[in-house]
C-alpha cells in the first residue's frame, strides 16, 4: 500500500493507493503535517512505501519525522527513475509536479501523443510523444495569479473572485477584468491545444489542477478532465521504482 505526499507552498495533498486504486485523499496545511500523517498511517497500517513531492524545501522537522518512519520513502527528484526519455535541456530545473504528470501520461496513455495541462497557480503545459519522449511545454500565470497581479500591480483595479462573464465585452471595470482573465485563459488553452494538434496527430489532452472544474466545460476542444492526475502520477512513479531500483 502506498502513501502519496504532494507538498505545495501552503497546503499538502496526500493520498493512499492500493496498487492503482485510490483509497483515500485529503488536503491540509503544512503546519499539521506530522499529526495528519500519523493519523493516516494509523488508519492504513498496511502502508509500506511512500513518495514525497515538494515544490519547496521541506521543513527540518518534517524531514526528521519522515526519516524516522518505518517505511520506505522515495523523494521525487529529476534523478528519479521514470518511464520516459527526458529531452528537457535543463532537467534539474524541471518541476517534480511536471515529472509526475508525464509519468501519469505514460502509464495511463501509453503510445499516444499526450498534452497535460495543469491549471493551478500557474498553468503548465507538458507534452510527451507516442514513443514516450518528453519534449517540454510552457508555463503561464494561472487564473488566481492573473486576478491578483492586476490588483497588486495597478493603482485602482480591485481584487475579484473568478467569474465567467455573460458577455466577453466587459461593460464595467469588474466585467472587463473577468473577461480579460477568464476568457483570456480559455482562449489561451484552446489556442495552445490547436497548435499541438497541427503538429501532432491523434492528440490526447488531459486537464488537471485546481481550476479543472471551472475550465473543463468551457473549452472548445475535447479534453479528459482528471483533478487527481498528479496524485496518480506520483503513485505511478512509486510503483515504477518498486520494480526498477
Measure the CA angle with vertex 58, ends 144 and 87; round to 5°.
70
Sign of the CA dihedral with 92 first, then 97, 102, and 106 last: positive
Output the tens digit of pLDDT for each of the chain's 245 residues: 999 999 876 688 999 999 999 999 999 888 888 899 999 999 999 999 999 998 777 777 877 888 888 899 999 999 999 999 999 999 999 999 999 999 999 999 999 999 999 999 899 999 999 999 999 999 999 999 999 999 999 999 999 999 999 899 999 999 999 999 999 999 999 999 999 999 999 999 999 998 999 999 999 998 999 999 999 999 999 999 987 76
Taking the CA atoms of residue 107, residue 112, residue 113 and residue 116 in that order, the dihedral angle to the nearest 10 degrees is -30
Residue with cell 473577461: 179
**Model pLDDT, residue 245:** 65
Active site residues: 97
Strand 2-7 and strand 85-86: the pairing is unpaired
Q: Give the integer Cα–Cα distance in Å for 239 and 241.
A: 5
Contacts of 79 (CB under 8 A, 6+ apart): none
Distances in whole angstroms, Cα of residue 150 to Cα of each of 171, 205, 243? 18, 29, 48
Distances in whole angstroms, Cα of residue 87 to Cα of each of 90, 99, 103, 120, 136? 9, 12, 14, 24, 7
Strand 49-54 and strand 11-18: the pairing is unpaired
Q: Which domains does the chain have, with CATH numbers?
A: 1-75 (3.30.420.40), 77-245 (3.30.420.40)
State pTM to two decimals.
Answer: 0.92
Q: Give the integer Cα–Cα distance in Å for 24 and 185.
A: 31
Which DSSP category does 92 fall into? Answer: G
**Model pLDDT, residue 9:** 67
Sign of the CA dihedral with 222 first, then 210, 85, and 198 last: positive
Amino acid at each position: 500500500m502506498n502513501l502519496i505526499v504532494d507538498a505545495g507552498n501552503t497546503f499538502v495533498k496526500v493520498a493512499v493507493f492500493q496498487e492503482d486504486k485510490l483509497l483515500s485523499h485529503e488536503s491540509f496545511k503544512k503546519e499539521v503535517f506530522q499529526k495528519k500523517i500519523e493519523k493516516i498511517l494509523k488508519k492504513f497500517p498496511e502502508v509500506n512505501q511512500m513518495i514525497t513531492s515538494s515544490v519547496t524545501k521541506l521543513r527540518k522537522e518534517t524531514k526528521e519525522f519522515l526519516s524516522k518512519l518505518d517505511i520506505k520513502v522515495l523523494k521525487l527528484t529529476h534523478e528519479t527513475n521514470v518511464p520516459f526519455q527526458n529531452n528537457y535541456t535543463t532537467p534539474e530545473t524541471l518541476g517534480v509536479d511536471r515529472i509526475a504528470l508525464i509519468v501519469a501520461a505514460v502509464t495511463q496513455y501509453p503510445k499516444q501523443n499526450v498534452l497535460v495541462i495543469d491549471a493551478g497557480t500557474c498553468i503548465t503545459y507538458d507534452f510527451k510523444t507516442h514513443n514516450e519522449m518528453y519534449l517540454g511545454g510552457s508555463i503561464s500565470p494561472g487564473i488566481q495569479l492573473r486576478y491578483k497581479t492586476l490588483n497588486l500591480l495597478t493603482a485602482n483595479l480591485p481584487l475579484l473572485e473568478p467569474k465567467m462573464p455573460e458577455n466577453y465585452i466587459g461593460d464595467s471595470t469588474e466585467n472587463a477584468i473577468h473577461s480579460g482573465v477568464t476568457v483570456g485563459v480559455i482562449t489561451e488553452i484552446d489556442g495552445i491545444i490547436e497548435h499541438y494538434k497541427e503538429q501532432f496527430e491523434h492528440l490526447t489532452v488531459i486537464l488537471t489542477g485546481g481550476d479543472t472544474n471551472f475550465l473543463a466545460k468551457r473549452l472548445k476542444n475535447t479534453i479528459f478532465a482528471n483533478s487527481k492526475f498528479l496524485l496518480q502520477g506520483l503513485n505511478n512513479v512509486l510503483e515504477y521504482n518498486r520494480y526498477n531500483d
